[in-house]
Amino acid sequence: GQLYFVNGAWYIKYVEQEEDGQTYTTLKVKEDEIMVIRNGLVTMRHSYRPGIRTSGSYAGPGGMMWMDTATKEMQVCYDEEGDLSAVVWTYDLYLNEQKVGRYRISCRLMRI
């Protein structure tokens, strides 16, 4: 993947390769918000903000669903050079207004 900083936000871009196709994913990371943008086999644009319930949609091979999340916590970490090194967030997921569960996503970055 690629990491870059533009206009006060960090961007992580990578491609998810699946057997049926690929999805281009971008994470836009700010101190108080993470935006996940996916295009391809899966299409989604969703914002995660601690303490706020946000709405969006998710379209994949199984069809489209309305998606809400209630973000419980979010951590943005930096390395000794000040570059983004990790993002971790926990949220309750609702699909078509029904709670599916609580999830924790962790994205850790390493220099190569």
Do 20 and 61 form a contact (C-beta atoms < 8 A)? yes
Strands (E), 1-112: 2-6, 9-18, 21-30, 33-40, 43-48, 53-60, 63-78, 84-95, 98-108
**pLDDT one-digit tens code per residue, 27-57:** 999 999 999 999 999 999 999 999 999 999 8
Q: Tell me whether strands 21-30 and 33-40 are parallel, antiparallel or unpaired.
A: antiparallel
Given a cut of 90, whether residue 74 has pLDDT beyond it is: yes
Q: What span, in angstroms and rounded, lies between the C-alpha atoms of 4 and 93?
A: 28
Q: What span, in angstroms and rounded, lies between the C-alpha atoms of 70 and 91?
A: 5
What pLDDT score was predicted for residue 62?
86
Range with the lowest mean pLDDT among 45-49, 63-67, 68-72, 91-95? 63-67
What pLDDT score was predicted for residue 96?
84
Q: Which two three-digit tokens encode residue 65?
A: 């669903």
Q: Which two three-digit tokens encode residue 97?
A: 């207004």
CA distances from 84 to 4, 28, 45 (A): 9, 11, 21
Q: Label residue 16 by pLDDT band (50, 70, 90).
A: very high
Q: Which two three-digit tokens encode residue 36?
A: 């996940």
Tell me the pLDDT of the chain averaged across its residues: 94
Answering whether pTM is above 0.85, one says: yes
Q: Tell me whether strands 98-108 and 33-40 are parallel, antiparallel or unpaired.
A: unpaired
